[in-house]
Amino acid sequence: MARKLLLEHINVPQINTLAVYREKGGYRAVEKAIKNMSPEDVVEEVKKSGLRGRGGAGFPTGMKWSFLAKPEGVPRYLVCNADESEPGTFKDRYLMTHIPHALIEGMIVSSYALGAKTSYIYVRGEMMPQIRILERAIEEAKAAGFLGKNILGSGYDLELYVQPGGGAYICGEETALLESLEGKRGNPRIKPPFPAIAGLYNCPTVVNNVESIAAVVPILNIGAEEYAKIGIERSTGTKLISASGNINKPGVYEIELGVPVEEFIYSDEYCGGIANGKRLKAVVAGGSSVPILPANLILKTAKGDNRLMTYESLADGGFATGTMLGSGGFVVFDEDQCIVRNTWNFTRFYHHESCGQCSPCREGTGWMEKVLHRLEHGHGNLSDMDLLVDVSKKIEGNTICPLGDAAAWPVASAIRHFRDEFEWHVTHGEESQTGNYGLAHYADPLEPVI
């Protein structure tokens, strides 16, 4: 069995309460940090652990923390990104629902490390039940002396608040999130300045994903060295993977980074194989924004090595033949799924969620949606695929925030790997309305096509 650091006690009854959480060793990291370590020690420990941001970009957390500006007399903030809006991702919801104190404890330790005296957890508004759960956990922690004034007699004060969003994917982008937290529309800011210099209320701010913050707790408990032993190369520790789509066991799994993709899909410890005895067609491995890969390329790299669940292995081959670990939103497509329809669906999502500030994204996502709509509905042209690639290239890299890239990559990768299926929608317009292109040459290499 793989080692569990975040979800070890997920099945313990009432682990959502402070009492049971403490029985299982909870709040030891707060005691250790506040009583025995300086804030700098905590930052150093997180650096040594090799922890990389779990929100999608994979930026080293300890390094991000060390960039935080510390001008005299100016407050600093820690803001937790619990917007969880990347399609395919639902791990933060799971963690907050079942072990809310893991996040609260992580927030206390991380705030201490950064010298933040007020911290916010920005939770997407649709997660009202989770907001209530977190608020209850904060009350419990406060009553036990882990929050508020003079925590554990150390002289360190911390107030922690939960802030609801209003339903907008873009508010997962850290500067849009800060705008939203200031009571404004979620329009991303131009960087620089980065939040570490001028973030919330123009003060130095760190924004971290729920899972990154929760991971700080086991890092302090077992020690950075022990944590860094788990995983491979620069992919250290464990990672929560949200598995969905056509698999036998959808759900959230904590993996040791480095598990082979094949094992993750087919073993009973994780996804349990493709549902209904079907065959694997494609996978979106890291949330809707990352390139989609056909079965043959997700299981093995272009060089023929087994593909592993690590930042490096999933990216092997670049965008030509690889993808990204992203947020760990692992969406599995069986042989009956239509890639054209899904690409249209994802593109509609990005068009809907574009904040509208930058014209390449606002207009480009709309054009791509229109062209994909006509392809999906059997009215496309053979030149549409080049048109889509052209539009996607004009969005990519030309916007204030990476939502533009996130909209461009799924389209470009779908056409790169599944061009013949798009062409079939043009040449077999009517048939494509009732029939399905099927697997073709992307066949699950574990079971050769007859």
Partner 1 sequence: MLSVKKNEPVEFQEDLISKFDELVKRYPEGRQKSALLPMLHLVQAQFGWLSVTAMDKVASYLKIEPIEVYEVATFYTMFFLQPRGKYVLEVCRTGPCCLVGAERIMKHIENRLGVKENEVTPDGLFSWRGIECVAACGMGPVLQIGPEYTYHEHLTEEGVDQLVESLRNKG
Ligand X SMILES: Cc1cc2nc3c(=O)[nH]c(=O)nc-3n(C[C@H](O)[C@H](O)[C@H](O)COP(=O)(O)O)c2cc1C
The site for partner 1 (CB under 8 A) is made up of 75, 84-90, 92-93, 118, 124-129, 159, 161, 163-169, 180-186, 201, 242-246, 250-252, 284, 288, 329, 331, 333, 337, 341-342, 345-346, 349, 352-353, 355
Question: Considering only CA atoms, which of 182, 189, 149, 190 is closest in space to residue 163?
Answer: 182
Question: What's the min distance (Å) between Cβ of 356 and partner 1?
Answer: 9
Query: Beta strand 235-236 with 238-245: parallel, antiparallel or unpaired?
Result: unpaired
Question: Which of the choices ligand X, partner 1, none does residue 329 contact, using the CB cut-off of 5 to 8 A by kind?
Answer: partner 1
Question: Which of the choices partner 1, ligand X, none does residue 195 contact, using the CB cut-off of 5 to 8 A by kind?
Answer: none
Question: Which of the choices ligand X, partner 1, none does residue 101 contact, using the CB cut-off of 5 to 8 A by kind?
Answer: none
Residue (4 or 28) nearer to partner 1, CB: 4
Q: Please list every residue from 336 through 375 that binds ligand X, using CB under 6 A.
A: none
Which residue in the set 100, 172, 258, 328 belongs to the binding site for ligand X (CB under 6 A)?
172
| Beta strand segments in 223-353, E | 231-232, 235-236, 238-245, 251-256, 280-284, 292-294, 329-334
Distance of CA 366 to the CA centre of its chain: 25
Contact 227/76 with Cβ under 8 angstroms?
no
Binding to ligand X by residue 403, rule CB under 6 A?
Answer: yes
Query: Beta strand 77-82 with 238-245: parallel, antiparallel or unpaired?
Result: unpaired
* Six-digit token string for 322: 């690889």
Question: Which of the choices partner 1, ligand X, none does residue 55 contact, using the CB cut-off of 5 to 8 A by kind?
Answer: ligand X
Question: Which of the choices partner 1, ligand X, none does residue 174 contact, using the CB cut-off of 5 to 8 A by kind?
Answer: ligand X
Which residue in the set 103, 131, 170, 200 belongs to the binding site for ligand X (CB under 6 A)?
170
Which residue in the set 29, 37, 401, 412 belongs to the binding site for ligand X (CB under 6 A)?
401
Question: Which of the choices ligand X, partner 1, none does residue 194 contact, using the CB cut-off of 5 to 8 A by kind?
Answer: none
Binding to ligand X by residue 88, rule CB under 6 A?
Answer: no
Contact 58/152 with Cβ under 8 angstroms?
no
DSSP string, 269-327: TTT-SBGGG--EEEEE-SSTTSPEEEHHHHHB-TTSPBPBSSHHHHHTTHHHH----TT
Residues 28, 119, 400, 340, Cα dihedral to 10° = 60
Question: Which of the choices partner 1, ligand X, none does residue 220 contact, using the CB cut-off of 5 to 8 A by kind?
Answer: none
- Only one residue has tokens 């056909």, namely 294
Please, what is the Cα angle at 363 between 390 and 403, to 5 degrees?
80
- What amino acid is encoded at 353 in this protein? E
Q: Which bin fits 76, alpha (ψ -120 to 50), beta or left (φ > 0)? A: beta
Which residue in the set 140, 174, 179, 384 belongs to the binding site for ligand X (CB under 6 A)?
174
Question: Considering only CA atoms, which of 440, 404, 375 is closest in space to residue 170?
Answer: 404
* Six-digit token string for 97: 């629902």
Question: What's the min distance (Å) between Cβ of 229 and ligand X?
Answer: 21
The rounded distance, in Å, linking the Cα atoms of 138 and 160 is: 7
Question: Which of the choices ligand X, partner 1, none does residue 402 contact, using the CB cut-off of 5 to 8 A by kind?
Answer: ligand X
Residue (209 or 413) nearer to ligand X, CB: 209
- Only one residue has tokens 């209530």, namely 132
Q: Give the range of 36-44, 194-202, 207-215, 262-270 binding ligand X by CB under 6 A.
A: 207-215
Residue (12 or 57) nearer to ligand X, CB: 57
The rounded distance, in Å, linking the Cα atoms of 331 and 263 is: 15
* Six-digit token string for 31: 């005691």
Q: Please list every residue from 41 through 70 that binds ligand X, using CB under 6 A.
A: 53-57, 59, 61, 64
Q: Give the range of 6-14, 24-32, 167-175, 356-364 binding ligand X by CB under 6 A.
A: 167-175
Question: Which of the choices partner 1, ligand X, none does residue 125 contact, using the CB cut-off of 5 to 8 A by kind?
Answer: partner 1
Question: Considering only CA atoms, which of 176, 12, 39, 170 is closest in space to residue 102?
Answer: 12
Binding to ligand X by residue 406, rule CB under 6 A?
Answer: yes
DSSP state of 60: B
Site residues for ligand X per CB under 6 A? 53-57, 59, 61, 64, 81, 83-86, 170, 172-174, 207-209, 212, 401-403, 406
